[in-house]
Chain A
């Protein structure tokens, strides 16, 4: 028998209502010193990556979000009770610090799609003769065009990222921003926002959306702080759970 771990939390003694977990197994609280882990007992060595299981994992983590801010475990974390207890006991100070960081907060997410095609600019002239070029020189000229285009995209993406951060950082305790100039989904940002500031955060994003109509926004949340947990990394290195 193994334990499927959903999330780690503090400050709760019981679940607000009975919760059904992966494979319809009941969810219970496993207390380790002053921390608790939401777990289900499962008689299996692996959990299938299915939509149903992923949604169940998310629903269990979310079930305590009104009471506290948990640190979600990575989907598929299946360990013995002894492993889990040892892990928490050994890492307690670090886990408490992490819980303190997310305390009172939720994760809000902003994603931005752009259309860069309208930003093509004339290239600066080449410093060498274009006439009488062979296949090799033409190949390099084409590469030059590609590289200049990539640099323009990267600069524009960076400007969008800076603009977003200047406007939202004051409302966030922490942030995780990924910028991908090569794709249409140019920016994905997760912000750790205090619950009392969710309204302000939404209003600010709405204003930003109006300021830059050429960018397409997706705002979502509040979520448990999946992007700020990082519990799975230590867990993976300790138990090889992936």
Chain B
């Protein structure tokens, strides 16, 4: 027995907050994003694969955007190059949006939970 007489464990877990509604709403959001069991049928496998591929593309797209902004901030791009780079990234974003719609995916779907190190995006 671990419990010592002078140190009884309080009976039930307590939940203390002055902002119940706010936390209920946020925790519901978290619950909604938890992975559910996967049904192995042709459609869900296709969507799962699309989700994985598009997540990686989205990750790379964001890296490219950050890199472009850093180069722009660094002053080593001419106005023409900035315009060209911006247009290319704009088209990439639009294309990715089109693919997400095609596979029925929302913005929040494109992410990977990497466990203790957090989420990919």
Contacts and interface: CB of A to CB of B under 8 A. Distances in A.
B30 interface: yes
A203 to B, nearest CB: 12
B83 A143 contact: no
Contacts of B29: 183, 185
Query: Which of A103, A176, A218 has most chain B Cβ within 10 Å?
Result: A218
A66 B3 contact: yes
A161 to B, nearest CB: 12
Nearest to A219: B16
Contact of A140 (B13, B16, B37, B69): B69
Interface in A115-171: 126-129, 132-140, 143-144, 147
B96 interface: no
Nearest to B66: A147
Contact of B14 (A132, A139, A185, A220): A220
Given A127-B73, A140-B72, A221 B9 contact: no
B41 interface: no
Interface residues on B, range: 35 or more
Interface residues on A, range: 35 or more
B65 A11 contact: no
Contacts of A66: 3, 8-9
State the majority secondary structure of interface residues on A: mixed
Contacts of B18: 216
Interface in A8-54: 11-12, 49
Interface string B65-98: 1101100111101010011111111100000000
A37 B82 CA distance: 63
Given A11-B2, A106-B9, A113-B26, A147 B90 contact: no
A178 B118 CA distance: 7
Given A137-B79, A140-B85, A216 B17 contact: yes
Given A198-B10, A220-B16, A143 B84 contact: no
20 contacts: A67-B2, A113-B19, A127-B75, A134-B86, A135-B83, A136-B87, A137-B83, A139-B86, A139-B90, A140-B72, A140-B89, A143-B69, A147-B69, A216-B17, A217-B16, A218-B23, A219-B15, A219-B17, A222-B13, A223-B13
